Amino acid sequence: MKPSSLSSPDAQLDLRGTPCPINFVRTKLRLEKMSPGGLLEVWLDPGEPIEQVPDSLAMAGYQVEQIADCSGYFSLLVRRPVIAQ
């Protein structure tokens, strides 16, 4: 059962096997195509990707709502801000 505070993502992006910083760039480009307030689920590898991408997204003004360890990869829920950057 999903926590009630989180809605289901509007889009999904599988970046497993994608190195840094390409995974951040692809995530940011996908978020920019989404509607304001849109929720993107991103799959990232353990190690550098999950350590770097969430912080980079937060510094870029995106809201990281959840990071879940999915056994072998991580699921990141990121929301595009309603107010344009």
Residue 67 lies in a domain: yes
> For 15-59, how does the pLDDT look when each residue is reduced to its tens digit (9 = 90+)?
999 999 999 999 999 999 999 999 999 999 999 999 999 999 999
Q: What is the pLDDT, as a whole number, of residue 6?
A: 57
End-to-end CA distance of the chain: 34
State the residue range of the domain holding 65. 21-41+50-71
Q: How many structural domains compose the chain?
A: 1
Q: What is the mean pLDDT of residues 72-84?
A: 91
Residue 13 lies in a domain: no
Residue 64 lies in a domain: yes
Q: What is the DSSP letter of 61?
A: T
**Which pTM was predicted?**
0.88
Residue 25 lies in a domain: yes
Assess whether the previous peptide bond of 9 is cis (omega < 30° from 0): no
pLDDT for 4 beyond 50: no
Residue 54 lies in a domain: yes
